[in-house]
Structure 1
Amino acid sequence: MPAHIQLAPPAMSETEYATACWEDDGGPPFEPSPAAHATQWRRVAAELSGRLPDIADRHDVIVTCEHGTRSGAPAAFYPTTGIIEIDTKLFAPLAPATLHPARFGDEERYPIAWGVLIHEAAHAAHTAWLPAPHLRPTAAHQAAEMLEESRAECAHLARRPADRRFLRATVATLVMADITAQTPADRWQAAFAAGLILARRDAGILDEDETEALEHTVRDILGPDLLNTLAAIWQAAHQTADTDGQAMWEHGRAWCEALGTDPTQPPPAPGNERRGALAAAIGKVTGQVTANEDAHAAAQQEARTTRANRAKAKAAQAERQRQATRTAEHVFTPGARPYAPAPLRGSGRLASPITGTRLPTSAEKAATAHLARGLRAAAYRERTEITSTSAVPPGRLNMRGALARQAQQAAGATPTAQPWIHTQRRPIPAPPLRVGIAVDVSRSMRSAAAPIASAAWILAKATALTDPDSRAATVAYEESLTAITAPGRTPHRVTEFDADGAGHSLGHAIDALTAGLELTRPGRGRLLVIASDGYYRRTEAAEATERLTTLTQTGCAVLWLAFAPEPCPLPHTTLLELEDPAKAATAIAKAATTALQAL
């Protein structure tokens, strides 16, 4: 079995020896012309060496990247020379020119190679004990080396727990170098597989569901008692200090004795039992690890996407709020002319729909008073009751509590019963109202212009009558926006207007009213009233629906007034069909009350 830790590199080949002799004899240094990819691999190795002090906490170790390591393993660490060698195949299919290990985060593209580097760095940082040369060929030494694999990773995770996912990615690469499809499933090899895989589970690198298949296979071969004994040995090894070579040697001896193997002799020769069974079980382990890592990566990606979408939505909402504030400033500035939030599609000029004002009729005044009472009722909140008990008046006497107190006193105990019950009622002030009114003045509303003007005045005036802090505002919309009443200004006359516009900028009208009245701010009764037939273009309806969704999510009620048959109200609204607004004040009050009380 290839070892991941070698005291010194393997002996030089004949070519390497001849080159060294030539240089020793005074010949010029042999410098072959390196290929482009060889130069790149040297750069990659240098950048890996630059990252190593952070991983291994050592500055005297360098990394080499070779096409096939000298040890035969995917990677190896040489303690005597301070060299970590890594097979370039671990970076496949990436080309060396695209590898930049010096950049933090680049390792995410080659987790297996990076995990192997971390594994060897763990040996460089924590494998400080070196067995005596005469012990290396023995079974005890092989067992101690095998136990060192998980012990070093366990110690490394205590320093750098974030490296766990990279170590998990290397399980197949590191273990399959020791256990192949030709490895028999005898007792020694089964124990060896358990020491490599199940010990990593107890070290916190693998999960129980991932090692279940191998555990069943190994238990069938070794039996539960022997497996428990071996588990106790590797768990003790995990607690061994980095420099305690004697303890690791004793763990290796105990491992051999538990398996009935002479620790001073070479490991037992492989048998022929069920070749490939252990490799198949380990394959299931690595498959489950891969599945779990893929699921974890997908969950992380979904979480990142969710966070990104939330950030985008938050940024878009902030930008929309800024745009709404600018729209409100354009619309509600005193003396402002009609404002077009988008390029005009119609005549190309801005014209106010307002034709004049008139005094309200007696019917409209009566409707206003009726609606004001309804809005006050909708904003009313019941008084809160706070009940407390005491041993003395004031309050209402509870006879059961009084008898209990007398019994306590008669028994000579400290009386704890409190027979007096006091109820304190506190009124909750009715919240002020914020009512935004959006009036459609497009051509399709021409026949309803007069009743809409009457209804808008009734709503605005009734809101002002409910509470001194209540505010209302009215905006007429087509392609442009025109302020009928600004926030906080009580209309004394009915504003009349023509419905001869083109298009429907309801979304921008909602923005202006939302910013001007703070319709998204809690702590007050909020109501948006839209007077329209709802015959909009698809894009216009979509923009308005998006605003209405945001409003209703914040607790603002939306009432849709329709004065024409077969209206098309937008979602998230309460429809109220009217014929005569002066006679329908009761219906308006009822609908507004229902909407406000539902908050």
Structure 2
Amino acid sequence: MTARLPATHYPTRTATVAELDAVTLVANRLDRASDRGLDETTVSQAVPPGRLDLEQAMQADAQAQLGLPRTATPWQRKRRRTLRAPALRLGIAIDHSPSMHDMLDAAMGAAWVVEAAAARARQARSTVALATFDTSAHLIESGSTTHVPTLETAEPGAVNHSGALPEVLDLLRARLELDHYPDDSRLLVIISDSVLQSPQRAAHAIQELHAAGVRLLWISIDEEAPGYLPDGVATLTADAQSLLEALPGAVTDALATAYGPGGYQ
């Protein structure tokens, strides 16, 4: 179970047709990404069922005729099991500062698509938490598969700013219990225009998570990824039009390649 921390209830809007279609697509992608195929082993045994190994059968007969202890295993059986990717623990932090005024609805819509898809996926084991940050950090109350939370937008020039990135990362870390499940696929995504009040403080918080084995993805809005990000943090540039596809795509790619070359390590 995930940690029970207070979450903020936001007003909602009905999901668009494009968002609902994206939920179905992403749920299928999560299921495919979680499927690592079959592991097949051969089990040798002294009695049926199974396929008869003639050489072992002859050895069993010889042991019986000589009165020796029976060590031959003339029956071979295939044992198969489905391999699954590690469970996904995913947190998405959305910059709620005035400079993100025109991007909030697109960012929230894309994040909701991932959350709703994780709930719908039948095979993928996923836990998703959403949060916002400006001068403070807030978890978003979630759970609807038809309605998207809406964030009130502050006009550019308002006094609130995006100084609480370290706090929102701490909230997501606790909500998802990232320190308790080191073998899960742990990913935190930050959606921001990279205009932060205290970039070095943010970089230190990100470096601490990265050192703990948590993968991070920074989605920079209409700007190059900030130079203060530690090495090893994956980056992506998006705008309002591309974010609905870019965020879910990055998440499913990260899950599919969690332990392979090119993944968000």
Is the shorter-chain TM-score for this pair beyond 0.5, marking a shared fold? Answer: yes
Aligned CA distance change for structure 1 residues 520 and 443 (closer, same or farther; 3 Å): same
Aligned CA distance change for structure 1 residues 596 and 493 (closer, same or farther; 3 Å): farther
Q: Which has the higher contact order (CA 8 A, sep 6+)?
A: 2
**How far apart are the structure 1 equivalents of 2:125 and 2:34?**
13
Q: How many Å apart are 1:391 and its aligned residue? A: 2.2
Kindly indicate whether residue 139 of structure 2 is the aligned counterpart of residue 483 of structure 1: yes
Number of residue pairs aligned between Structure 1 and Structure 2: 247
Corresponding position of 1:446: 101
Corresponding position of 2:58: 403
Q: How many Å apart are 1:383 and its aligned residue? A: 4.7
Aligned equivalent of 2:219, options 561, 570, 584: 561
TM-score (norm 1): 0.37
Once the two structures are superposed, residues 162-190 of structure 1 have per-residue CA deviations (whole angstroms, 9 ceiling, x without a partner) of: xxxxxxxxxxxxxxxxxxxxxxxxxxxxx
Q: How many Å apart are 1:388 and its aligned residue? A: 2.6
Once the two structures are superposed, the pairs formed by residues 466-545 of structure 1 within 5 Å of their partners are: 466=121, 470-486=126-142, 489-490=143-144, 492-497=146-151, 498=153, 500=156, 501-522=160-181, 524-536=184-196, 537-545=198-206
List gaps (5 residues or longer) in structure 1: 1-324, 336-353
Aligned equivalent of 1:548, options 209, 224, 244: 209
TM-score (norm 2): 0.76
**How far apart are the structure 1 equivalents of 2:238 and 2:8?**
32
Q: How many Å apart are 1:476 and its aligned residue? A: 0.9
Q: Let me know the Cα RMSD of the aligned residues.
A: 3.3
SS of residue paired to 1:582: helix
- The structure with the largest helix share of the pair is 1
SS of residue paired to 1:558: strand
Q: State the AA in 2 paired with 1:573.
A: V
Once the two structures are superposed, residues 564-586 of structure 1 have per-residue CA deviations (whole angstroms, 9 ceiling, x without a partner) of: 13122733432233342334466
**How far apart are the structure 2 equivalents of 1:445 and 1:484?**
17
Corresponding position of 1:374: 29
List gaps (5 residues or longer) in structure 2: none
SS of residue paired to 1:568: coil
Q: How many Å apart are 1:507 and its aligned residue? A: 1.1
Q: State the AA in 1 paired with 2:79.
A: Q
SS of residue paired to 1:434: strand
Once the two structures are superposed, residues 234-288 of structure 1 have per-residue CA deviations (whole angstroms, 9 ceiling, x without a partner) of: xxxxxxxxxxxxxxxxxxxxxxxxxxxxxxxxxxxxxxxxxxxxxxxxxxxxxxx
Equivalent pair of 1:559/1:592 in contact (CA under 8 Å): no
Corresponding position of 1:455: 110
Equivalent pair of 2:114/2:248 in contact (CA under 8 Å): no
SS of residue paired to 1:520: helix
**How far apart are the structure 2 equivalents of 1:586 and 1:460?**
10
SS of residue paired to 2:179: coil
Equivalent pair of 1:370/1:586 in contact (CA under 8 Å): no
**How far apart are the structure 1 equivalents of 2:257 and 2:217?**
8
Equivalent pair of 1:561/1:575 in contact (CA under 8 Å): yes
Once the two structures are superposed, residues 70-96 of structure 1 have per-residue CA deviations (whole angstroms, 9 ceiling, x without a partner) of: xxxxxxxxxxxxxxxxxxxxxxxxxxx
Aligned equivalent of 1:588, options 250, 255, 260: 250
**How far apart are the structure 2 equivalents of 1:594 and 1:535?**
31
Equivalent pair of 2:91/2:188 in contact (CA under 8 Å): yes
Equivalent pair of 2:90/2:186 in contact (CA under 8 Å): yes
Once the two structures are superposed, the pairs formed by residues 211-250 of structure 1 within 5 Å of their partners are: none
Equivalent pair of 1:396/1:422 in contact (CA under 8 Å): yes
**How far apart are the structure 2 equivalents of 1:363 and 1:485?**
22
Aligned equivalent of 2:89, options 424, 434, 446: 434
- The structure with the largest strand share of the pair is 2
**How far apart are the structure 2 equivalents of 1:512 and 1:595?**
26
The percent identity for this pair of structures is: 31
